[in-house]
């Protein structure tokens, strides 16, 4: 009791807080803003359009600085996406800006597949974000968001409306990204032609059901400006980083023999409207729509593909553990099935090869037997010939011996009866054995 009394006396000197006073949680938005400003922001723009339509120039004009960009050639074999990141700062706000260009778009003879590398790039960025989200140790707050927040689709000012390539590509992109169509190099056609071109483009987009990004009208602060700009699609833009002298002012523009196009003059083009909508009013909505609409769709499809569901057929909610187990079992079943079919394939292949080898072996055996027979017959006939030759040789030798004997006898007779020489000589040459002896010698 004494202790309590002492404590009260000491506390009397401390300041007292009134319960009805200012608590302070209304500073939460400021805390949030400070935290976000300290961290900085990411904004990623994809520029789709044919080479030389003015994509790089427009980016430099929009951000008021020159972005070094390698000039694209018209001889690319396929569409390639080139991305570059810049660290920008305006007052205290830091912005990591990534600009992605489509090199070679519309330059091939066959443009059928031109949209594919673009879709693949957008999906690859979603995939990276999903991977980060699913990591055990993730840091999404500090993660540099790689997802494409807006796609500026550049339409050529030449022609009366959209090309087939434009329609196909825009239709494929509509569910993946916030799509904003712009007419590039709008200064090269007359005001009337531009008006007709804009009308034709919008009619065509409407009749093919191509969904383009709509500036939000729910927030009453921006509802008026956004709904009026929603009727200005597609933006007709002119880009330039050159300064031209108008009166005694220097402005960004393009100088022609008949006058100057001022890119920031709303009577000349829609660049200011585009900058206003894209960067000053709706940048956060573009980032938000990317996350809540396009990324969400990608994530849902991807997770369903991986076997995740929110509810089972009895509308019971699935636990992550159950889903994981079910997917694991399914994968094991698939693996076993694949293993079995591969084993079967291997066995069949071995059997086929074995049969082929046996067939070959049989053929070789037959060939060998045939050669053996031929060899045997040839040997036999050679033996026969040899035998005949030997017989001939023997007969010849016999005749030779007989002839030699006769010759010897004849020579002996001559020496004993010289008078009968001529007669005997005649007889000798008329002898058949003598003839054959002569012919035998000639033969040799």
Choice between 56 and 169, CB closer to ligand GDP = 56
For residues 229 to 248, the per-residue mask of contacts with ligand GDP, x marking binding by CB under 6 A and - elsewhere, is ---------xx---------
HSE, side-chain direction, 13 A CA sphere, residue 367: 6
Q: How far apart are CA 444 and CA 393, in angstroms?
A: 12
Cβ at position 212, least distance to ligand GDP in Å: 20
User: Considering CB under 6 A, how many residues would be counted as binding ligand GDP?
Assistant: 15
Is the CB of residue 285 less than 8 Å from the CB of residue 291? no
For residues 273 to 312, the per-residue mask of contacts with ligand GDP, x marking binding by CB under 6 A and - elsewhere, is ----------------------------------------
The reply on whether position 270 binds ligand GDP by CB under 6 A is no
Q: Which of 53, 122, 197, 277 binds ligand GDP (CB under 6 A)?
A: 53
Please give the full DSSP string across 14-62, using - where no structure is assigned.
S----TTS---GGGHHHHHHHHHHHH-EEEEEEEE--TTSSHHHHHHHH
SS3 292: helix
Is the CB of residue 126 less than 8 Å from the CB of residue 23? no
Choice between 187 and 270, CB closer to ligand GDP = 187
Question: What tokens does 45 get?
Answer: 């723009």
Q: Which residue of the chain is nearest ligand GDP when measured via CB?
A: 54
Is the CB of residue 309 less than 8 Å from the CB of residue 301? no
Cβ at position 154, least distance to ligand GDP in Å: 7
The reply on whether position 197 binds ligand GDP by CB under 6 A is no
Q: Which residues contact 182 (CB under 8 A, 6 or more apart)?
A: 58, 152, 153, 154, 155, 234, 235, 236, 237, 270, 274
Parallel, antiparallel, or unpaired for β 243-246 and 259-262? unpaired
The reply on whether position 253 binds ligand GDP by CB under 6 A is no
The reply on whether position 114 binds ligand GDP by CB under 6 A is no
The reply on whether position 262 binds ligand GDP by CB under 6 A is no
Stretch that binds ligand GDP, among 53-61, 121-129, 272-280, 398-406 (CB under 6 A): 53-61
Choice between 254 and 299, CB closer to ligand GDP = 254
Give φ, ψ of 251 to 5 degrees: -130, 165
Residues 31-50 that bind ligand GDP (CB under 6 A): 49
Question: Token match 């879709």: residue?
Answer: 119
Stretch that binds ligand GDP, among 55-63, 79-87, 111-119, 207-215 (CB under 6 A): 55-63
CA distances from 248 to 244, 245, 252, 265, 269 (A): 10, 7, 13, 16, 22
The reply on whether position 102 binds ligand GDP by CB under 6 A is no
Choice between 52 and 307, CB closer to ligand GDP = 52
Cβ at position 106, least distance to ligand GDP in Å: 10
Cβ at position 71, least distance to ligand GDP in Å: 6
* Sheet order of strands, 249-256 included: 243-246, 249-256, 259-262
Closest CA to 206 of 261, 143, 161: 161
Parallel, antiparallel, or unpaired for β 179-183 and 235-236? parallel
Q: Which of 44, 57, 156, 289 binds ligand GDP (CB under 6 A)?
A: 57
Tallying the residues shown for the chain, one arrives at 444
Cβ at position 307, least distance to ligand GDP in Å: 43
The reply on whether position 187 binds ligand GDP by CB under 6 A is yes
Choice between 119 and 189, CB closer to ligand GDP = 189
Is the CB of residue 215 less than 8 Å from the CB of residue 163? no
Closest CA to 62 of 183, 241, 199, 288: 241
Closest CA to 52 of 67, 68, 71: 71
Stretch that binds ligand GDP, among 110-118, 183-191, 215-223, 299-307 (CB under 6 A): 183-191
Q: Which of 185, 268, 287, 294 binds ligand GDP (CB under 6 A)?
A: 185
SS3 236: strand
Question: Token match 């090309």: residue?
Answer: 163
Stretch that binds ligand GDP, among 87-95, 180-188, 223-231, 385-393 (CB under 6 A): 180-188
The reply on whether position 166 binds ligand GDP by CB under 6 A is no
The reply on whether position 268 binds ligand GDP by CB under 6 A is no
Q: Which of 56, 114, 125, 282 binds ligand GDP (CB under 6 A)?
A: 56
For residue 253, the surrounding DSSP H or E stretch is strand 249-256
Cβ at position 238, least distance to ligand GDP in Å: 4
Is the CB of residue 244 less than 8 Å from the CB of residue 61? no
Choice between 26 and 71, CB closer to ligand GDP = 71
Q: Which residues bind ligand GDP (CB under 6 A)?
A: 49, 51-57, 72, 185, 187-188, 238-239, 254
């Amino acid at each position: 009791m004494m202790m309590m009394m002492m404590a009260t006396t000491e506390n009397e000197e401390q300041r007292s807080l009134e319960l009805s006073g200012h608590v302070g949680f209304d500073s939460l938005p400021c805390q949030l803003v400070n935290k976000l400003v300290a961290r900085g922001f990411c904004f990623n723009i994809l520029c789709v359009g044919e080479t030389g339509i003015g994509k790089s120039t427009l980016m430099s004009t929009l951000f008021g600085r020159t972005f070094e960009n390698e000039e694209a050639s018209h001889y690319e074999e396929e569409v390639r996406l080139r991305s570059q990141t810049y660290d920008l700062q305006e007052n205290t706000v830091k912005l990591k800006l990534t600009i992605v260009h489509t090199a070679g778009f519309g330059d091939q003879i066959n443009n059928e597949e031109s949209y594919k590398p673009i879709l693949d790039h957008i999906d690859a960025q979603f995939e990276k974000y999903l991977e980060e989200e699913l990591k055990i140790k993730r840091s999404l707050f500090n993660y540099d968001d790689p997802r494409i927040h807006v796609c500026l689709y550049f339409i050529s000012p030449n022609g009366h409306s959209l090309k087939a390539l434009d329609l196909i590509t825009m239709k494929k992109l509509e569910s993946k990204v916030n799509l904003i169509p712009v007419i590039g190099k709008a200064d090269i056609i007359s005001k009337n032609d531009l008006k007709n071109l804009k009308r034709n483009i919008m009619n065509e987009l409407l009749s093919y059901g191509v969904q383009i990004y709509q500036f939000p009208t729910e927030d009453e602060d921006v509802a008026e400006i956004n709904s009026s700009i929603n009727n200005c699609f597609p933006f007709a833009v002119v880009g330039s980083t050159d300064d031209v002298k108008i009166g005694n002012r220097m402005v960004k523009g393009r100088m022609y023999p008949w006058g100057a196009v001022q890119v920031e003059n709303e009577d000349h083009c829609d660049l200011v409207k585009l900058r206003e909508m894209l960067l000053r009013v709706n940048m956060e909505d573009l980032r938000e729509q990317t996350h809540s609409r396009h990324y969400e769709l990608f994530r849902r499809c991807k997770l369903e593909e991986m076997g995740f569901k929110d509810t089972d057929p009895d509308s019971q909610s699935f636990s992550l553990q159950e889903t994981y187990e079910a997917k694991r079992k399914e994968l094991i079943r698939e693996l076993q099935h694949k293993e079995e079919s591969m084993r079967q394939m291997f066995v069949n292949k071995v059997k086929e090869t074995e049969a082929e080898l046996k067939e070959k072996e049989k053929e070789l055996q037959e060939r060998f037997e045939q050669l053996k027979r031929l060899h045997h017959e040839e040997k036999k006939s050679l033996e026969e010939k040899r035998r005949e030759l030997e017989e001939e040789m023997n007969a010849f030798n016999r005749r030779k011996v007989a002839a030699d004997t006769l010759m010897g006898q004849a020579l002996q007779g001559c020496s004993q009866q010289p008078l009968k020489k001529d007669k005997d000589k005649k007889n000798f040459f008329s002898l058949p054995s003598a003839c054959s002896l002569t012919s035998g010698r000639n033969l040799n």
